[in-house]
Amino acid sequence: MSHPMLHAARDAVLQPPAVPPETWQATAAAPGGAQSAPRPSAANRTAPVQTEGCAAVEASLTAEGVVAGAGIAGIAGAAGPARRGPPDPLAADGSRAALPGIDAPERRTVLHVDIDAFFAAIEQRRDPRLQGRPVIVGAGVIASCSYEARAFGLRAGMPLSEARRLCPQAVILDGHAQVYRCFAEEIFARCRAIAPEVEAYLDEAYCDLSGTERLHGGLIEKVRELKLGILEATGLSVTCGIGPNRMLAKLIGKTVKPDGLARIGAAEADAFLRDRPIEQLAGVGHAHAKTLRSMNLRTIGELRALSAEVLVALFGANGRLLYERCCGRDTATVDEREIPRSISRETSFHRDTADPAEIDGMLEYLVGRACRTARELGIKPRTVAVRLRYSDGEGCERARGLGQPSDADPVVLALALDLLRRQFTRRVALHHLGVTLSSFVRCEGEQGALFDEPEAGRRAALFRAFDGVRRAYGHGVLVSGRALQLRGRLEEDRHGFVLRTPSLTK
């Protein structure tokens, strides 16, 4: 639980000090002289950022820009000569005049913490023989790879067959999801010690530091201490970005990976975003990027030149959100209790299989894990999706809505099995199976049925009891139904069956 002083400081909305005149600043401090991970190649680093109307700044990410012997990869913002143009947004009284379209009704400060090459870095720490070698974690596709592997062009989501072709010497590991979870919990616990609100995911977290700068005595120094504490406790490096909202905090952090620390203010957002590729904008996936590039739109600045109405015409309601983000605006808050968009549990079979008993058993096990997570979050799904991938690489997916939101294993499983039957029609073995729950509603806000079955209440109490036992003794202590077919086929530990999964789901 966060310290009450942090909440008090945030609620008081203390006036932060004036933003320094640099277009954006980054630190390359090296507490303790720890050796950092290899930096990405120069070709993948950010190009210089030029501004007009502000002090010209070259955000150099070349090797020459790194402080010699620093040990932590970072960059330094160097102010250049003033350029002709509109007045600098730094007012005479030392305050910042917000750029049009970027101002926010309240001052916010968000810290984004990203664990560098998370799964691969842990495997290198657990086995010193892997230090300096290209390491891949995943089955079927890459879930994570070390920076040594990325130098060969490897990336998350790439099929292992292609990864082996590009980097034959890579060490490929299945991964240990529970080990990674323990490391993540240690890191995020340290984040909660300095932030009133922390929204944590598998390998990253957003921390709301609004109003805490005076309490901490300077956010840059406090975050530098956080990085050092994480490095000493876990042996892992993290990259930190500080910004006026979630989107900018994450984007500025990406420019200083790995093991970097950078900060950007609201007044610097326009110049920072202008020349960035559209793919870096949150919400622009492969399909959107393809559409935009077909219109000869390649940068966020070019996208911003379009009106919000044009983007709405192209992408519907999501178009207005894209326009807001082009302007540097992101109203999403840091919320530990935020409803996730989806909960997925998936795995690759140890051996491709067409055995109905094994496939049904695996589906029931995955549904049980997903439903347990939903119950722990206090949410119920309205939609269930099942996806398959055959041994020949062909894949398919189907989704359907539940008649009534439900987090009960039997209700979700019945629909999932029907979706499986409708898809698994080829006489080809399955390589991969996954289930996704989505369209959630909070349990307290759920609209109940007029004639609820008495059995539903007893069933809910039963699964709450199951969850309590599993929290105390591990998920693997209770296995039921079709999932019993997996016993003897898969290894087990107290956390359940040991799966091969590219997403390393729990």
pLDDT tens digits for range 207-225: 999 988 888 888 999 999 9
Which CATH number does the domain housing residue 239 bear?
3.30.70.270
pLDDT tens digits for range 337-392: 667 788 889 888 888 899 999 999 999 999 999 999 899 888 999 999 999 999 88
Same domain? For 374 and 428 the reply is: yes
Which CATH number does the domain housing residue 312 bear?
1.10.150.20
* Residues 257, 239: Cα–Cα separation, whole Å: 6
User: Looking at 125-134, 140-149, 428-437, 485-494, which range is the least confident one?
Assistant: 485-494
Higher pLDDT, residue 81 or 168 = 168
pLDDT at residue 435, as a whole number: 95
Same domain? For 351 and 308 the reply is: no
CB distance 436 to 374 below 8 Å:
no
Query: What is the secondary structure of 203-259 as a DSSP string?
Result: SEEEEE-TT-HHHHT-HHHHHHHHHHHHHHHHS--EEEEEESSHHHHHHHHHTT-SS
Mean pLDDT, the chain, whole residue set: 77
Same domain? For 467 and 430 the reply is: yes
Average pLDDT over residues 6-10: 48
User: Looking at 11-20, 60-69, 317-326, which range is the least confident one?
Assistant: 60-69
pLDDT tens digits for range 136-151: 998 778 889 999 999 9
Structural domain span for residue 465? 342-497
Same domain? For 403 and 489 the reply is: yes
Which CATH number does the domain housing residue 425 bear?
3.30.1490.100
pTM, full prediction: 0.63
pLDDT at residue 64, as a whole number: 31
User: At which residue do the structure tokens 């070349």 appear?
Assistant: 62
pLDDT at residue 18, as a whole number: 43
Same domain? For 313 and 359 the reply is: no
Q: How many domains does the chain have?
A: 3
Same domain? For 192 and 102 the reply is: yes
CB distance 267 to 19 below 8 Å:
yes
Same domain? For 320 and 445 the reply is: no
Same domain? For 475 and 428 the reply is: yes
Q: Tell whether the model's pLDDT for residue 302 goes beyond 60.
A: yes
- In the annotated binding site, the residues are 114, 203
Average pLDDT over residues 294-314: 88
CB distance 472 to 494 below 8 Å:
no
Same domain? For 96 and 205 the reply is: yes
Tell whether 78 is covered by a domain.
Answer: yes
Beta-carbon neighbour count of residue 16 at 10 Å? 18
* Residues 241, 221: Cα–Cα separation, whole Å: 13
Same domain? For 69 and 92 the reply is: yes
pLDDT at residue 338, as a whole number: 64
Q: Which tokens is 247 given?
A: 């989107």
User: Looking at 102-106, 208-212, 240-244, 303-307, which range is the least confident one?
Assistant: 102-106
CB distance 216 to 194 below 8 Å:
yes
pLDDT band at 34 (very low <50, low <70, confident <90, very high): very low
* Residues 255, 73: Cα–Cα separation, whole Å: 11
User: At which residue do the structure tokens 């199976």 appear?
Assistant: 433
Average pLDDT over residues 275-302: 86
pLDDT at residue 78, as a whole number: 32
CB distance 104 to 244 below 8 Å:
yes
Tell whether 130 is covered by a domain.
Answer: no
User: At which residue do the structure tokens 């010193």 appear?
Assistant: 128
Give me the phi and psi of 80, to 5 degrees please: -105, -170
CA torsion, ordered 119, 180, 189, 222, to nearest 10 deg: -20
Query: What is the secondary structure of 312-332 as a DSSP string?
Result: HHHHTHHHHHHHHHHTT---P
pLDDT tens digits for range 160-218: 889 999 999 999 998 887 788 889 989 999 999 999 889 888 889 999 999 888 888 88
- In the annotated binding site for Mg(2+), the residues are 114, 203
* Residues 20, 11: Cα–Cα separation, whole Å: 24
* Residues 337, 42: Cα–Cα separation, whole Å: 39
The last residue of a domain, from among 292, 326, 360: 326
pLDDT at residue 58, as a whole number: 31
Higher pLDDT, residue 468 or 136 = 136
Does 204 qualify as catalytic in the annotation? Answer: yes
pLDDT tens digits for range 98-132: 444 444 445 889 999 999 999 999 999 999 999 99
Catalytic one of 199, 204, 346, 358:
204
User: Looking at 52-66, 279-293, 413-427, 434-448, which range is the least confident one?
Assistant: 52-66
pLDDT at residue 397, as a whole number: 92
